[in-house]
Amino acid sequence: MTPTARAADRLDPAVLKLAAVLVLGALAPLLDSTIVNVAIHTLGAQLQAGVATLQWVSTAYLLALAVVIPVTAWASTRFGAKRLWIVALALFLLGSVLSGLAWNAGALIAFRILQGVGAGLMLPTLQTLLMRAADREQLGRLMAVVTVPALVGPILGPAVGGLLVSHLGWRSIFYVNIPICLAAIALAIRVLPADEPAAVRRLDLTGLFLMSSGVAALLYGLTRTGPDGGFAHLDVLVPAIVGTALLIAYVARKPQQPLIDLNLFRTRSFAASTALLFLTGAALYGAMFLLPLFYQQARGASVVAAGLLLVPQGLGSLLARAAGGLSDRLGPRPVVLAGVTLTVIGTLPFAIPGTAYWVLAIGLVVRGAGLSAVNLSVMVGAFRDLRPEQIPDASSMTRIVQQLGGAVGAAALAVILQTWLAGHSPASAYAGSFAWAIAFTALAAVPALALPRRIRAA
């Protein structure tokens, strides 16, 4: 590569500075979700709440996040992405402070909803700001930088959560967000480029109701599969059917100014990428549901030990950062196919009862590298062929699809696991469940074939 080509290959320092500021802000919600999960048992004891109530500490956050994602495309266009980012951080900060001050489970659930609203506005807005600033031929390398918080969360979250709860009490798991959010807001005001609101875009209120309610109802139904022991229960079927019907109604409408323009799917690379995001969401979150339970129930590890045993997957994800550059040079298709293959190979040891711990650890490194390569390259494929004015809608849609894919994967594997546990030993039940997780992952190879395969000129 010539010196001129190498210079063009480097990321713009101004874009890197922008990415660093956004990464800092994103770290708060991504760490928060894993930290809170670790503290659920302590929250129940301290707030004198049962399991049925405590599940809403996580569920209410998830539903609030899902409800506001569809409106971010309109809001970022109407008010400006910089303003929306700062507002989202402020809402998450306020929700964190109030959650730390909560006097009972009901108050905590209410304040977690406020946190979820902030997080739901934040993550699509981050993508919009980055995609607008980035050179299309450097998206992969930029995504490799900004997805670091998504990897740090699962690695540090359980350990940080355990230390905070043990030494400073449960309220500290929310207060830890305060310095992060304050620093992120101050830097955003100084560093993010000013963006003036675009021409007034009428808010599609009917579309907002249909999509937000549909996504929330569908997610709620899927979260009930675990407590209710399967799909064939009214608590699962009714919200899932209602949510699906509302989403179908949204698709069937033809408004002049839709909340999210579904013409995005006419772009082949975006359509293929969203299908992949759904499947990789199912593979990632479904297996993340299985992995800690596998170590605890099938291998007898403690909660802390299970968290430490999962660290190799995060390390594997960090090793795959080079996939961003490969996606820029080769195109996303070959990188995604290679990542799917690595993910399948890395999951195989868990589908074989009695596999040695060291083999499982190597498998997690390979699995983490494969999933990271897929996720990086899919995001490159999703945005590479879109026009700038399509980016806000695409940011919202990719987040919605990923949330739904994760919920479907976790729900399906929870039901599969419960079914296997009814007639098999824990070792066999988890082996069978991981076999299904492998099948979900392998399906991702089909839409991957529709991704662009382009080699950059040197």
Q: Residue 93: what are its φ and ψ, rounded to 5°?
A: -60, -50
More confident residue, 8 or 315: 315
**One-letter amino acid for residue 101 of the chain:** L
Closest Cα partner for 126 from 155, 88, 183?
88
Q: Which of 114-123, 189-198, 338-347, 396-405 has the lowest mean pLDDT?
A: 189-198
**pLDDT score recorded for residue 358:** 92
**pLDDT score recorded for residue 163:** 72
pLDDT category of residue 179 using cuts at 50, 70 and 90: very high
Q: Which of 4-13, 163-172, 389-398 has the lowest mean pLDDT?
A: 4-13
Residue 375 has pLDDT above 50, yes or no: yes
Hey, which of 48-52, 205-209, 373-377, 407-411 has the most confident mean pLDDT?
205-209
More confident residue, 107 or 130: 107
Residues 6+ apart with CB under 8 A from 140: 323, 324, 325, 326, 327, 328, 332, 376, 377, 380
How many residues are listed for the chain in this entry?
Answer: 458
Q: Which of 28-37, 112-121, 195-204 has the lowest mean pLDDT?
A: 195-204
Taking residues 52-66, what's their average pLDDT?
Answer: 77
**pLDDT score recorded for residue 4:** 42
Note whether 405 and 447 are within 8 A (CB): no
Burial class (CB in 10 A: 0-12, 13-18, 19+), 417: buried
pLDDT category of residue 287 using cuts at 50, 70 and 90: confident
Hey, which of 235-249, 273-287, 379-393 has the most confident mean pLDDT?
235-249
**pLDDT score recorded for residue 229:** 59
d(CA 355, CA 329): 38
What is the pTM assigned to this prediction? 0.77
State both tokens at 46: 């301290």
State both tokens at 248: 């179908």
Owner of token pair 């099938």:
298
Owner of token pair 């739904």:
404
Residue 127 has pLDDT above 70, yes or no: yes
